[in-house]
Amino acid sequence: MDWQDSPEQAAFRREVRSFIEARLPEHYRGRPPGAPDEWVADRGAPEPERREAAREWAVALGERGWVAPHIPTEYGGGGLSKWEQFIYNQEMARVSAPVVGSSHSVEMLTPTLVVHGTDAQKSAYLPRILGGEMVWCQGYSEPGAGSDLASVQTRAVLDGDEYVVNGQKIWTTNGHHADAIFAMVRTDPDAPKHRGISFLLIDDMATEGVMVRPLVNMAWEHGFNEVFFENVRVPATNVVGDVNRGWYVSMTLLDFERSGVRQATNVRRQFNQLLGEVREPRTPGSVRSLPSVRAEIADRAIDTAVCENFSLRVISMQAVGLIPNYEASMGKLRISETLQAISRTGVRAFGLYSNLWDPEDERSPARADFTQRYLTSIPHTIGAGTSEIQRNIIATRGLGLPRG
């Protein structure tokens, strides 16, 4: 594998850098990394400058099809090659530019609609998603169905030309910001559990019977939610793929979620922030200069490079028409554990100063980013399939080991 840009790749990298320099709103310039779905919060923020910055950035990316650079141009995407997508993500991460649209909308639902959606579904939803006008959240996990997603109990009963949905979803990221939710629902309770599930688009969170309740984490952040459905009526035409075959549609989406191409650039972005902070003389504390801490930072540098190489492997496969499976699980496993490790190292590197939680306190290293991330990094190895699930996939599909 050649790690250097080809002349064509180098030219595209310059193109992306020039675009960022010309079009990135001032609000997003010269700052540390924000939350992964920062733009989603900005578009509905009370501050006019945040809303305007979100609008300007959505327009700029939409003009190029770069809200979804991985989607073919005929659907409104950028039509970029796998290598161009990786370069694009690298350059956006380099300046901490926010992603337009939620990751669930752009990274997962959009390619799933391209593969499995009807023409009517594509025309109804893709332009709105790719224009930054519609944000979706994911309705998969339930109180009794997390890693074992096939155990979902949310019911959808056909009534004429509509489904009536009742049930509960949990750990719904951005449910309080989203316009719509795509959900795994059980349409045949008598079928084997993998075969009685349908993939349903509930395209308006304001639909009567939908209720969102916040889940605040230990860092006092509101990112997750519970979503309740009580006699919610959804057109039967909103089923993606075949009825009772939604498990296979959902697994297509999870393979997109686990491929980790964009997450690898997030690892690089967070490591670069750590490196910049420990090199900054005005950062308080001397713990970072201890040999053990310096060695740990070196380990994180190696971990970051490994994550990038896993992503490059996935890209190399996709570039020749192969579909990553256990390779995506390898990337997801390593990336999620590395994100936790970077946060842990960031906390250790600043000693007792890491106990400062206030982003406005000038003594607080990196605006307390590493302290906050350390607490909120626990779900990294749970969401999108636990590390144990990923290791099982690697063992059975990658190494050919028997299930035990």
Q: How does pLDDT run along the chain (404 residues), one tens digit per residue?
A: 567 888 999 999 999 999 999 999 999 997 776 666 789 999 999 999 999 999 999 999 999 999 999 899 999 999 998 889 889 988 998 888 998 988 889 988 998 999 999 999 999 999 999 999 999 999 999 999 877 889 999 999 999 999 999 999 999 999 999 999 999 999 999 999 899 999 999 999 999 999 999 999 887 788 899 999 999 999 999 999 999 999 999 877 665 655 556 778 889 889 988 988 888 756 666 788 889 999 999 999 999 999 999 988 888 887 788 878 899 899 999 999 999 999 999 999 888 888 887 777 878 777 788 888 888 888 889 877 889 999 999 999 999 999 86
Residue 130's identity, in one-letter code, is: L
pTM above 0.85, yes or no: no
Q: Superfamily assignment of 259-398 in CATH?
A: Butyryl-CoA Dehydrogenase, subunit A, domain 3 (1.20.140.10)
- The predicted pLDDT at position 305 comes to 94
- Tell me the CATH number of domain 136-244, given options 2.40.110.10, 3.30.565.10, 3.40.640.10, 2.40.50.320: 2.40.110.10
- The predicted pLDDT at position 251 comes to 78
- The predicted pLDDT at position 103 comes to 83
Q: Which of 292, 287, 291 is nearest to 365 (CA)?
A: 287
Q: Which of 265, 347, 244 is nearest to 311 (CA)?
A: 265
Q: 7-100 has which CATH code?
A: 1.10.540
Three-state secondary structure string covering the chain: CCCCCCHHHHHHHHHHHHHHHHHCCHHHCCCCCCCCCHHHHHHCCCCHHHHHHHHHHHHHHHHHCCCCCCCCHHHCCCCCCHHHHHHHHHHHHHCCCCCCCCHHHHHHHHHHHHHHCCHHHHHHHHHHHHCCCCCEEEECCECCECCCHHHCCCEEEEECCEEEEEEEECCCCCCCCCCEEEEEEECCCCCCCCCCEEEEEECCCCCCCEEEEEEECCCCCEEEEEEEEEEEEEEHHHEECCCCEHHHHHHHHHHHHHCCHHHHHHHHHHHHHHHHHHHCCCCCCCHHHCHHHHHHHHHHHHHHHHHHHHHHHHHHHHHCCCCCCHHHHHHHHHHHHHHHHHHHHHHHHCHHHHHCCCCCCCCCHHHHHHHHHHHHCHHHHCCCCCHHHHHHHHHHHHCCCCCC
- The predicted pLDDT at position 187 comes to 98
- The predicted pLDDT at position 107 comes to 85
- The predicted pLDDT at position 5 comes to 87
- The predicted pLDDT at position 57 comes to 97
In the chain, domain spans: 7-100, 136-244, 259-398
φ, ψ of residue 242 in degrees (nearest 5):
-80, 150
